[in-house]
């Protein structure tokens, strides 16, 4: 088994910046690639912010955070970015065409040893395995937002992924501090969204069909299961934009009438009214002091 030392992250956006920082923090040499220098400059600003989060949330020693930064190299040259990469993690836009074109270019310049991982949330590795030119060394390594504290990583190959490569990526995920979740077959939404999306939709359907109000739906779930949140509060936390985009993509990909009704309902009642959840101060609840945080909510 090859020892992974050099990791390249493609895309310095929301997730790519977090993946690069966490990987460097755990001792790897990291190269961060993006298409423009300005974007890499913005990533450096994000790292300054991450240092504060890591100190607050993880009690991370400042010297370790400074060391992490010395291990990150920035480039806009794709061939340069992978010249000695053992493993790569792609976090570029969630668009099948962009990913296919990117992997075609990457496959042509990366050394034969390099393992390719995608952080895609909704696409399956089999949808662009051929473009990588090395399907056996290609799989998904999927992180969650705020990964230093929501440190779960789902590892999912396609039918042609080599078992040894899969196992190696599981070990890598553990080595950067993730709770590694191996997934044995391709599954849209991995484990997490396969659980979360139907749960959120069940709550939304009870609400939009006038079966119960948001607080009653959440109270039922919280009281019965001893949970700290119900599906309506969770929708506010995820944010209505994200929820709407997920619903829209299901509506478009399935053509199913129920998904279309959910999409229309979300648009009319939340998106168009700027009720975007916690970020805009209102969703199913009003913030900063939502009712579900009242001491009396479950009485
Ligand atoms: P983002 O838009 O914040 O960042 C994407 C980055 O990719 C940008 O910096 C952009 O400049 C760069 N980019 C654009 N075209 C490129 C190209 N051709 N080659 C290389 N880089 C290019 O996106 P994000 O939210 O970080 O999402 C990236 C991936 O991570 C997506 O596949 C998404 O599904 C997945 N993901 C996102 C989240 C999340 O909460 N945002 C969570 C898990 C997984």
| Number of neighbouring beta carbons within 10 Å of residue 36 | 10
Contact 146, 50 (CB under 8 A): no
Task: State the Cα–Cα distance between residues 295 and 271, nearest whole angstrom.
Answer: 30
Contact 116, 134 (CB under 8 A): yes
Residues 6+ apart with CB under 8 A from 147: 15, 18, 19, 22, 153, 178
Question: Which of 8, 9, 12, 16 for a ligand 1 pocket mutation test, highest count of atoms within 8 Å of Cβ?
Answer: 16
Whether residue 288 has a cis bond before it, omega within 30° of 0: yes
Question: Which of 8, 16, 21, 93 for a ligand 1 pocket mutation test, highest count of atoms within 8 Å of Cβ?
Answer: 93
Torsion angle (degrees, nearest 10) of CA 11, 12, 13, 18: 110
Query: For residue 129, which phi and psi values (nearest 5 degrees)?
Result: -65, -40
Pocket of ligand 1 (CB under 6 A): 10-16, 34-35, 39, 91-94, 98, 102, 119-121, 142-143, 145
Instruction: State in Å: Cα 295 to ligand 1 middle.
Output: 39
Question: Which of 92, 155, 192 for a ligand 1 pocket mutation test, highest count of atoms within 8 Å of Cβ?
Answer: 92
Residue 43 belongs to what H/E stretch? helix 37-58
State how far Cα 133 lies from the chain centre. Answer: 25
**Structure-token pair, residue 286:** 């009003």
> Domains plus CATH for the chain?
6-183 (3.40.50.720), 192-292 (1.10.1040.10)
Query: For residue 10, which phi and psi values (nearest 5 degrees)?
Result: -100, 125
Nearest CA to ligand 1 atom 35: 120
Digit-by-digit pLDDT tens for the chain (299 residues) are 779 999 999 999 999 999 999 999 999 999 999 999 999 999 999 999 999 999 999 999 999 999 999 999 999 999 999 999 999 999 999 889 999 999 999 999 999 999 999 999 889 999 999 999 999 999 999 999 999 999 999 999 999 999 999 999 999 999 999 999 999 999 999 999 999 999 999 999 999 999 999 999 999 999 999 999 999 999 999 899 989 988 998 899 889 999 999 999 999 999 999 999 998 999 999 999 999 999 999 99
CA distances to 74, 90, 139, 189, 258 from 125, rounded to whole Å, are 26, 12, 6, 12, 28
């Amino acid at each position: 088994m090859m020892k992974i030392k050099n990791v390249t992250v493609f895309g310095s956006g929301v997730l790519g910046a977090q993946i690069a920082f966490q990987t460097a923090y755990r001792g790897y040499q990291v190269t961060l690639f993006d298409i423009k220098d300005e974007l890499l400059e913005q990533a450096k600003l994000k790292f300054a912010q991450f240092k504060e989060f890591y100190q607050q949330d993880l009690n991370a020693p400042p010297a370790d955070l400074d060391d992490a930064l010395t291990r990150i190299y920035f480039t806009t040259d794709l061939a340069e970015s992978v010249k000695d990469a053992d493993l790569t993690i792609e976090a570029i836009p969630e668009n099948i065409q962009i990913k296919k074109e990117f992997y075609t270019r990457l496959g042509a310049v990366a050394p034969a040893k390099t393992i390719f991982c995608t952080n895609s949330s909704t696409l399956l590795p089999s949808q662009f395995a051929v473009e990588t030119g090395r399907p056996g060394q290609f799989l998904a390594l999927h992180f969650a937002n705020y990964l230093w504290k929501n440190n779960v990583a789902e590892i999912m190959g396609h039918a042609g992924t080599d078992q040894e490569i899969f196992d190696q990526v599981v070990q890598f995920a553990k080595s950067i501090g993730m709770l590694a979740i191996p997934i044995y077959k391709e599954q849209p939404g991995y484990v997490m969204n396969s659980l979360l999306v139907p749960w959120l939709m069940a709550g939304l359907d009870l609400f939009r069909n006038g079966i119960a109000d948001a607080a009653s739906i959440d109270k039922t779930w919280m009281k019965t299961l001893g949970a700290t949140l119900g599906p309506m509060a969770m929708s506010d936390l995820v944010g209505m934009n994200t929820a709407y985009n997920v619903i829209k993509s299901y509506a478009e990909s399935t053509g199913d009438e129920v998904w279309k009704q959910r999409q229309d309902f979300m648009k009319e009642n939340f998106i168009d009214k700027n009720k975007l959840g916690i970020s805009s101060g209102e969703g199913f609840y009003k913030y900063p002091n939502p009712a579900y945080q009242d001491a009396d909510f479950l009485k």
